[in-house]
Amino acid sequence: MARGADGTLVGAAIVEWTIGRRTRFATLADLSIEPAQRSSGLGARMVAEIDREARRRGMQWIFLESGKDNCRAHAFFERQAFHEISHVFGKALT
């Protein structure tokens, strides 16, 4: 979580840690920044902290998913050294 100077919540991330038999990885399940704080560097600082913690925990990868049309998020994550490595498919069951 990230708080502003006045203590209000301005950013939050959910990270899942997975330790398997053959690999250890983190999943950045969600990253949310208050609209007024976007493009301030806060998201980059949060991702850098997640990266440091993942390395400290011995993770081999950090994965995330982003909506296929969310170009702004894609550009942000590419600036943070993430790369597209797969396509995710889904099927609605309802």
CATH code of the domain containing 60: 3.40.630.30
CA atoms of 16 and 27, how far apart (whole Å): 5
Name the β-bridge partners of 63. 27
DSSP state letter for 36: G
- What residue numbers bound the domain in which 72 lies? 2-79
Confidence class of residue 59 from pLDDT cuts 50, 70 and 90? Answer: very high
The pLDDT of residue 21: 94
CA distance 16 to 7: 25
Contact 26, 62 (CB under 8 A): yes
Residue 61, domain member (yes or no) = yes
Count of domains observed in the chain: 1
Identify whether 92 is part of a domain: no
Q: What is the pTM of this model?
A: 0.89
Residue 86 lies in a domain: no
Q: What is the DSSP letter of 60?
A: S
pLDDT band, residue 11 (cuts 50/70/90): very high
**pLDDT given at position 52:** 98
Average pLDDT, the chain: 96
Evaluate whether residue 91 is within a structural domain. no
Neighbour tally for 33: CB within 10 Å: 18
